[in-house]
Amino acid sequence: MIQLFLTSSFADSYKQLETFVNDSLENKTIAFFDTASQVEEYSEFKDEALALLEKLKMTVTIIDLNQPDFKEQIKASDIIFIAGGNTFYLLQELRRSGADQLIEEHINSGKLYIGESAGSIIMSPDIDYIKEMDEPEKAPQLESTQALNLIDSYPLPHMDNEYMKDAAKIILEKYQNKLPLHPLNDDEVIFVKK
């Protein structure tokens, strides 16, 4: 069974997580990717998410894709959480490190995946549509925008976000008749269980 909890903003939607999981999250181990935020000026959302995971009494390991033990850390985790930031840089680094394959294995084994913004977008078939919101030039080594393709739709986060709603609206107008977009306000979640 695949279990995806795809958010626009985890801080605004985390209260829906326990209902989705239908189980206690206490003492669950979580592999936390802050990769997408590493090339962004604003990354406070990452700290908010970490604080909320600790509030939920989960055991968090921050994944560093440049460390040799990251693969074991991912395999040992109950949950994968990929925080927001630049989607192009995120995809580049997941592909470069081979973490993309580990994430797919994790999801296909029935373990929970939580995506926030960029972490939700990479579940789509392709991330090219998000270039009005994120800067592709931050990922100069990304050879293809083909994403993990684990859902058929294209998450469009931050529809009501003060700073990002203009970019979100441009994407909506440009692609609404070309792609099956799934617009998300910051307090909304795409739930996938199949």
- Per the listing, tokens 């929970």 go with 112
Cα dihedral across residues 69, 72, 77, 82: positive or negative: positive
Cβ pair 25, 18 in contact under 8 A: yes
Q: Active-site positions?
A: 117, 158
Cβ pair 87, 36 in contact under 8 A: yes
Cβ pair 13, 119 in contact under 8 A: no
Q: What number of other Cβ atoms are within 10 A of residue 113's Cβ?
A: 23
Q: CA 160, 166, 171 angle in degrees (round to 5)?
A: 100
